[in-house]
Amino acid sequence: MASSHGSSELFLDFVTEGFLHLEDKVLPAPVTWTRQVREVGRDRRTGGVHFSSVIVGPPSAIASDKAHRRPELVLRKGRPGPREAARVDVTLMGRLFSAGSAVRRRALAVLGVTLAAACAHGLFPFLRRGQDLLWGRSGDPPVLSVVEETRRLVDRAIYHTVKRDLRQRGVPSPSQLLSFSKRPEPTSRAVSRAAEIMEASVQALKTRVSGKLRRSWPPTDVLPEDVLNTVANVSGCLPYMLPPECPDTCLADKYRLITGACNNRDHPRWGASNTALARWLPPAYEDGISQPRGWNPHFLYSGFPLPPVREVTRQVIQVPNEAVTEDEQYSDLLAAWGQYIDHDIAFTPQSTSKAAFGGGADCQLTCENQNPCFPIQLPSNASGSASISCLPFYRSSAACGTGMQGAFFGNLSSANPRQQMNGLTSFLDASTVYGSSPALEKQLRNWTSAEGLLRVNTRHRDAGRAYLPFAQLTTCAPEPGPHGTTAAPCFLAGDSRASEVPALTALHTLWLREHNRLASALKALNAHWSAHTAYQEARKVVGALHQIITMRDYVPKVLGPEAFQKHVGPYEGYDPAVDPTVSNVFSTAAFRFGHATVHPLVRRLDADYQEPPGLPPLRLQDAFFRPWRLLKEGGLDPLVRGLLARPAKRQVPEQLMNEELTERLFVLGSSDGLDLASINLQRGRDHGLPGYNAWREFCGLPRLQTRADLHAAFANASIAGRIMDLYGHPDNIDVWLGGLAETFLPQARTGPLFACLIGRQMKALRDGDRFWWESSGVFTEAQRRALARHSLSRVLCDNTGLPRVPADAFRTGRFPRDFEACENIPGLNLDVWREPPPQGDACGLPDGVDNGDVVLCGETGRRMLVFSCRHGFQLQGREQVACAPHGLLRPPVCRDVNECEDATAPPCHPSARCRNTKGGFRCECTDPYVLAEDGTACVDSGRLPKASWVSIALGALLVGGLAGLTWTVVCRWAHAGRKASLCIADSGGRGTCQPGLGTRWDSNASQPAAATRGAGQDPACGSQILLCQ
């Protein structure tokens, strides 16, 4: 491009995008350029020449803009290419003419973007569901704000757990199945959440105060009582720490409460559900407060670190499936009954969150100890996968008011260390059938039945007999089919572990049928009974049968006759001074001896007690959480026959647990399984159980000090040597392992330590239970005699299709030699439960109570009406009323309880909306969020809302319109000043102006200048500005 004004041309180029500036000044409009141009530097990289120019114009119009100092005005020698010229055209010309409007343009742009975002926010409500909506804000005083912030952290961790579980739907992983089996019911979940909030809140308060003091909290300083009370109240723990209010009616002495509370009038929480496990010895936490044994791998015990639990499993406990020794005396049903009864009296819920409270690390992914994550570390050669260095493990939930909630911040070991919670009642009360909370009991009952029946499965029958109903929002192992797998729900029972293995499912199903059989028969005998009375009387009988079978038939076989006489002895009546609460060492260690008696195979037999071709033995890994096998593969009878006629695994010191439990626990697919032995050891350390020698001393047994002592106690030199090599000192041995390795007592299936611990617990469960079947006033003498003749064998006859059974169901028998015809097995004589109907209408018994029950009972010779309401309703009026000849003038009523108004323990997660329903509540979500499997939280479904396409179309239309309108306003406002001129002086002192831009001119200009060329003169480059020298 040639120029008539000089031999060379300098093209104005704009190197980087931004506002054009000269000497740190933004060009105003209008503006004139002088003829004076001077070089200020050269660009070594590009060869460009940098020039500056003097601006002439009103000083007020020249505004500084330091935020846009990056661009430079570059005059580059030579002919520009089309790309450079285009950049000049688009960037320089546009910005030069609008530079004076920069502030207005930015304001308009911000306004337009704000309007567009606001409209989009209104059209897409799901975009607003952020952390503030889920977690809220807090502006409370310091203590309250700490608790509220802690509550949000705990709830966020729980919420992320729920979201993860939803994302991982499909074939559940072993850790997911373990979490499901340990998932507490809603009441227990609320207690666990409150306890975690309280524990974390006190820790946060300690950290805050210590930070302000710039020193650690002194051990002698006391946390004020009002602060503790505030934390307990706001966290939701306080209601679970106060004594419950016990009913004072005639029914209170006739039927036990579903929660087990008020069994002992002086200590109403003894044995109740959702209370702390009993401690027979102080816990041995590493910090004296709550830190598990082995939390710090460098912590020394008697001069030695604790061995990794997985290493203990590999070297001492595990045995191949083919190497197991079968019990020549006892059937597989003995092992199954032990596990079933354990699930009747003990359930320690895991933490409600599977993510760390601080930082949110997923316990399935992290191998670091971050509460509640306490992973099981794997030795370098212990896993088949090089990428796996640990197995997930979650700490047990703490009981409310324990663990750093004591009086002293610095020394809590003597005040109130961490305790674990039992989610079930401690009593032998058939809570496996009826549950341990009013909410679960409500789900299990058939409220339309006049006979007080339990719910049954409406989709499947077993030759006319009932199955357990399905649980909602649960998924067990999928059922394989021709078109892939089909999701299969788990069974609903009084305990969440009913679908864990087929033997447990069989026993749960058996007692469901027995309750309904008894309730129907009792109602037929006593037509005047209400449905509630028939239900409670059948429940009372079923509970008594659980007690009889356990204490008469099961425990003596486990302990042996000598140990049973020593530790349990004969019944001498109810003793209110005995605490029946299940102990921590019993549930966490001693009663888990039964895991060593589990056979690796599930055997199913035909009517001739042979293995049919269509029902081959199943490995346990193929039976975990597969209830569909019971429904689709022969029903209950083949499974019961296998339990009766096949032996249990014998517990041998060198064959403690088979590979199905130590390598393939809860495996459903190709993933690696869990290790039950390591879980048991880790659970004992999590609970702070003292070592083996401490418990021997507790039971009056001599302490073991040397290898020779171990050899004598374990009766297996090889096992004793390996244990000593791992632990270094007998004091360090985990109590569960030490008890398993001991030599059996005569005619027993346990050694002396476990015989002591199990016997002591069973005696407490019997003597401390006001409703024990032999206790005075619980049953009549005739009823006690009838119950004493009953047996598990007869229960099998009454509820299966088996015509012959062994007289003792726990002893292995050979068919048909050792089997008795059911006609020869004594049954339960229900005639002794017959009651004469009330004479006339002297009591004025009402027809019924909406959403409640009314029961007629006698108290001190007077007939009383006792009213009660179902779960979710509250009684308004007197609970107990004396009979009146003419009826009640105003009977009490059951009013619906609005659970959604409970601010301390809200039933729904903050992410969901609570809607009150009759007798309950419902948690609802806004599309596209869906309700998680816990039924209380909302999680992202991973899709757009149902109305998303309409919303997107309308939103795009509106945003586009607003953007166009904003652009139009900006452009018009920006070009409103184009009446001004941009003139550049030439060499003759004359000025040339851009056409159509005005005529302002500085007449005093007299120095060399340049000229402008009109837009569009070069077709290849578009409009340009040429500064000609």
The model's pLDDT over 648-678, given as tens digits with 9 standing for 90+, comes to: 999 988 889 999 898 888 766 545 678 999 9
* Least-confidence region, from 586-595, 776-785, 916-925: 916-925
pLDDT tens profile 926-946: 877 777 766 777 776 666 666
Q: Which span out of 100-114, 177-191, 450-464 was modeled with the highest average pLDDT?
A: 450-464
Q: Are residues 888 and 745 in the same domain?
A: no
Closest Cα partner for 391 from 195, 584, 175, 210?
175
Q: Are residues 606 and 498 in the same domain?
A: yes
Closest Cα partner for 277 from 423, 167, 174?
423
Question: Using the 8-state DSSP alphabet, how is residue 385 labeled?
Answer: S
pLDDT of residue 78: 39
| Interval 960-974 mean pLDDT | 77
Answer yes or no: is 602 within a domain. Answer: yes
pLDDT of residue 171: 56
CB 389 within 8 A of CB 263: no
| CA quadruple 111, 114, 116, 118: dihedral sign | negative
* Least-confidence region, from 66-75, 622-631, 870-879: 66-75
DSSP string for residues in 765-826:
HHHT-TT-TTSBTTB-HHHHHHHHT--HHHHHHHHSS-SEEESSTTB---TTTTEEEGGGS-
pLDDT of residue 158: 77
Q: Are residues 517 and 457 in the same domain?
A: yes
Q: Is 411 a residue whose pLDDT tops 50?
A: no
Dihedral angle, C-alpha 543, 545, 547, 548, nearest 10 °:
160
pLDDT of residue 364: 83
Q: Which span out of 53-57, 481-485, 808-812 was modeled with the highest average pLDDT?
A: 808-812
Q: Is 408 a residue whose pLDDT tops 50?
A: no
**Residue 165 pLDDT grade (very low, low, confident, very high; cuts 50, 70, 90):** low
Q: How buried is residue 823: exposed, middle or buried, by Cβ count under 10 Å (0-12/13-18/19+)?
A: exposed
pLDDT of residue 208: 77
Cis-peptide into 945, omega within 30 deg: no
List CB contacts of 38: < 8 A, sequence separation 6 or more: 51, 52, 53
pLDDT of residue 862: 66
Lookup: tokens for 902: 């409970």
Q: Are residues 385 and 534 in the same domain?
A: no
pLDDT of residue 71: 37
Q: Are residues 756 and 888 in the same domain?
A: no
Q: Which residue has the tokens 């390795």?
A: 741
Q: Which candidate in 121, 160, 343, 886 is catalytic?
A: 343
Answer yes or no: is 387 within a domain. Answer: yes
* Least-confidence region, from 367-381, 404-418, 689-703: 404-418
CB 307 within 8 A of CB 726: yes
**Residue 532 pLDDT grade (very low, low, confident, very high; cuts 50, 70, 90):** very high
Partners of 854 in beta bridges: 867
pLDDT tens profile 174-183: 667 666 667 7
Q: Are residues 437 and 521 in the same domain?
A: yes
Tell me how far apart the alpha carbons of residues 1029 and 1024 are, in angstroms, rounded to a whole number: 16
Q: Are residues 402 and 452 in the same domain?
A: no
List CB contacts of 775: < 8 A, sequence separation 6 or more: 573, 574, 769
Tell me how far apart the alpha carbons of residues 606 and 639 are, in angstroms, rounded to a whole number: 9
Number of domains in the chain: 4
Closest Cα partner for 649 from 692, 593, 609?
593
Q: What are phi and psi of 55, to 5 degrees?
A: -95, 135
Q: Name the CA radius of gyration of the chain, rounded.
A: 40
Q: Are residues 49 and 165 in the same domain?
A: no
Question: pLDDT exceeding 70 applies to what percent of the chain?
Answer: 70
| Interval 54-74 mean pLDDT | 39
| Interval 263-290 mean pLDDT | 95
Tell me how far apart the alpha carbons of residues 589 and 928 are, in angstroms, rounded to a whole number: 46
Lookup: tokens for 767: 């003597």
Question: Using the 8-state DSSP alphabet, how is residue 26 labeled?
Answer: E
pLDDT of residue 988: 52
Answer yes or no: is 647 within a domain. Answer: yes
Tell me how far apart the alpha carbons of residues 830 and 445 are, in angstroms, rounded to a whole number: 22
pLDDT of residue 229: 83
CB 645 within 8 A of CB 605: yes
Helix (H/G/I), strand (E/B), else coil: 55 = strand
Higher pLDDT, 945 or 206: 206
Answer yes or no: is 247 within a domain. Answer: no
Q: Are residues 573 and 535 in the same domain?
A: yes
Closest Cα partner for 755 from 555, 563, 550, 571?
563
Q: Is 25 a residue whose pLDDT tops 70?
A: no
Q: Are residues 546 and 619 in the same domain?
A: yes
pLDDT of residue 11: 36
DSSP string for residues in 523-577:
HHH-TTS-HHHHHHHHHHHHHHHHHHIIIIIIHHHHH-HHHHHHHT-------TT
Q: Is 828 a residue whose pLDDT tops 50?
A: yes
pLDDT of residue 741: 95
Q: Is 270 a residue whose pLDDT tops 50?
A: yes
pLDDT of residue 952: 72
Q: Are residues 763 and 872 in the same domain?
A: no
| Angstrom distances, CA of residue 938 to CA of 160, 628, 753, 898, 935 | 11, 29, 48, 21, 8
| Interval 993-1022 mean pLDDT | 41
Answer yes or no: is 87 within a domain. Answer: yes
pTM as predicted: 0.76
pLDDT tens profile 969-1005: 777 666 655 444 444 444 454 555 544 434 333 444 4
* Least-confidence region, from 380-389, 537-546, 887-896, 901-910: 380-389
Question: Using the 8-state DSSP alphabet, how is residue 193 labeled?
Answer: H
Q: How buried is residue 198: exposed, middle or buried, by Cβ count under 10 Å (0-12/13-18/19+)?
A: buried
- Residue 232 burial (CB count, 10 A): 24
Helix (H/G/I), strand (E/B), else coil: 513 = helix
Q: Known binder of ligand: residue 595?
A: yes
Higher pLDDT, 236 or 937: 236
Beta strand 657-658 with 318-319: parallel, antiparallel or unpaired?
parallel
Q: Is 752 a residue whose pLDDT tops 80?
A: yes
CB 379 within 8 A of CB 308: yes
pLDDT tens profile 771-793: 999 999 999 999 999 999 999 99
Higher pLDDT, 347 or 238: 347
pLDDT of residue 214: 57
| Interval 874-884 mean pLDDT | 80
Tell me how far apart the alpha carbons of residues 745 and 792 are, in angstroms, rounded to a whole number: 26
pLDDT tens profile 89-132: 323 333 333 344 454 555 555 555 555 555 555 544 443 433 33
Answer yes or no: is 457 within a domain. Answer: yes
Helix (H/G/I), strand (E/B), else coil: 921 = strand
Q: How buried is residue 422: exposed, middle or buried, by Cβ count under 10 Å (0-12/13-18/19+)?
A: buried
Its domain, for residue 753, covers: 431-689+734-792
CB 1011 within 8 A of CB 5: yes
List CB contacts of 123: < 8 A, sequence separation 6 or more: 951, 954, 955, 958
Tell me how far apart the alpha carbons of residues 361 and 284 are, in angstroms, rounded to a whole number: 27
As a whole number, the mean pLDDT across the chain is: 78
**Residue 884 pLDDT grade (very low, low, confident, very high; cuts 50, 70, 90):** low
Higher pLDDT, 143 or 63: 143
| Angstrom distances, CA of residue 670 to CA of 74, 172, 621 | 66, 11, 11
Higher pLDDT, 254 or 911: 254
pLDDT of residue 713: 94
Q: Is 12 a residue whose pLDDT tops 70?
A: no
| Angstrom distances, CA of residue 928 to CA of 126, 474, 909, 941 | 7, 21, 17, 6
| Interval 73-77 mean pLDDT | 38
DSSP string for residues in 650-695:
P-BTTB-EEHHHHT-BT--SSS--B-HHHHHHHHHHHTT---HHHH
pLDDT of residue 883: 73
| Interval 336-364 mean pLDDT | 87
**Residue 215 pLDDT grade (very low, low, confident, very high; cuts 50, 70, 90):** low
Q: Which residue has the tokens 């309250």?
A: 144
Q: What are phi and psi of 398, to 5 degrees?
A: -80, 155
Answer yes or no: is 834 within a domain. Answer: no
pLDDT of residue 637: 97
pLDDT of residue 523: 97
**Residue 839 pLDDT grade (very low, low, confident, very high; cuts 50, 70, 90):** low
pLDDT of residue 227: 80
**Residue 63 pLDDT grade (very low, low, confident, very high; cuts 50, 70, 90):** very low
**Residue 413 pLDDT grade (very low, low, confident, very high; cuts 50, 70, 90):** very low
68 catalytic, yes or no?
A: no
Tell me how far apart the alpha carbons of residues 354 and 210 are, in angstroms, rounded to a whole number: 29
Closest Cα partner for 23 from 57, 66, 60, 61?
66
Q: Is 706 a residue whose pLDDT tops 70?
A: yes
Q: Is 1013 a residue whose pLDDT tops 90?
A: no
Q: Are residues 474 and 568 in the same domain?
A: yes
pLDDT of residue 912: 84
| Interval 253-263 mean pLDDT | 95
Tell me how far apart the alpha carbons of residues 807 and 793 are, in angstroms, rounded to a whole number: 6
pLDDT of residue 175: 67
Answer yes or no: is 787 within a domain. Answer: yes
Question: pLDDT exceeding 90 applies to what percent of the chain?
Answer: 45
**Residue 710 pLDDT grade (very low, low, confident, very high; cuts 50, 70, 90):** very high
Here the CATH number for the domain that contains residue 788 is 1.10.640.10
